[in-house]
Amino acid sequence: MEFSAIQIATFLSGTVEGDPEVKVYNVAKIEEGAPGMLSFLANPKYSQYLYTTQSSIVLINNDFELQGEVAATLIRVPDAYAAFAQLLGLYQQFIQSKTGVSSLSFISKDASYGDDVYIGEFAFIGDRVKIGDRVKIYPQAYIGDDVVIGDDTVIYAGAKLYAQTVVGKCCVLHSGCVIGADGFGFAPQEDGSYRKIPQIGNVVLGDNVEIGANTCVDCATMGSTRIQDGVKLDNLIQIAHNVELGKNTAIAAQTGVSGSTKLGSNCIIGGQVGFAGHINVADGTKIGAQSGVLGNVKKEGEELMGSPAMKLKDFLRMSVYMKNIEKLVKRVDELEKRLNEKQQ
């Protein structure tokens, strides 16, 4: 599907500089542009590519000042990065416009679904499932009994939703994610063995939640594991039983959140962070990659890093000390040597 510069500018409320009728059919990085491609420039580090790119159209910020001639047609917008993301969202809607229910899917006779849904081959829809309008369930997805799925949600191939899971509107669940598996609950016995503690709760996802590929969100022992509106989880994350994640919190890959821990709203968590169980983390907390959070974070907006996690400025100071530790040890050894010589 092709779009002209004037069509794109109209959609973005932007201004065209160049040929308004030039057309594009795909997108590309500005440094890898080719005729018929749309690119954007938001990071000043890539400014030199604006003058050499082969892309037909480039989105730039309104305040960007040209330093030379540009062959591409330019579309000026307030925020080129945000505008490009908006276009990608539109493009994704076009390529994911599937509807219809495959005859090779299994849908329980007492399940229900709304208008304009897509249910792909070998998808399984269990008893009493309720699916909203315009939901897309890709092949081989598993939707357990009594699951509720809100309007405009997308569930990709191979995702697994255990019984009683509740999914809000406009969510995206990527391939291989498992929502509602048993929490890690076992009671030690006198003989050294473990007795499994039944996990009878569920998982509740709010609206606009995105769950990455192969991420696991465990059901609650009792009650609900809760992921609030706008939360974004990367691939390969473990969210344990009875965890609560506040609105618009974003967590990068390979992070693990232990049972009954509560993260506030608008937190940003780097990759491979580990959280101890039964702790509370304040709103707006930012935690660097590979940190270990062992206790409560009470102050909002705190920036932490390290294991155990500490204030970022303390971590950076310690990092400088560690880089110079060999020199410091040699100086101490030399001072001790001189002191011993004076004492003799």
Given the residues 76, 136, 226, 241, select the one marked as catalytic. 241
Residue 343 predicted with pLDDT over 90: no
Instruction: Determine the pLDDT at residue 320.
Output: 85
pLDDT for 127 equals 98
pLDDT score at 341: 82
Superfamily of domain 100-315: Hexapeptide repeat proteins (2.160.10.10)
Question: Which one is predicted more confidently, 95 or 5?
Answer: 5
| Residue-level pLDDT at 92 | 76
CATH T-level topology, domain 3-95 = 3.40.1390
- pLDDT (mean) for 72-83: 97
Q: pLDDT tens digits for 165-218?
A: 999 999 999 999 999 999 999 999 999 999 999 999 999 999 999 999 999 999
CA distances from 292 to 6, 79, 185, 307 (A): 51, 36, 22, 4
What is the percentage of the chain residues whose pLDDT exceeds 90? Answer: 87
Residue 337 has a pLDDT of 87
**pLDDT tens track for 24-74:** 999 999 999 999 999 999 999 999 999 999 999 999 999 999 999 999 999
The per-residue pLDDT of the chain, averaged, comes to: 95
What's the pLDDT at 323? 86
Q: Do domains 3-95 and 100-315 have the same CATH topology?
A: no
Instruction: Kindly list the domain boundaries of the chain, sorted by start residue.
Output: 3-95, 100-315
Active site residue 241: yes
* Beta pairing, strands 3-4 & 142-143: unpaired
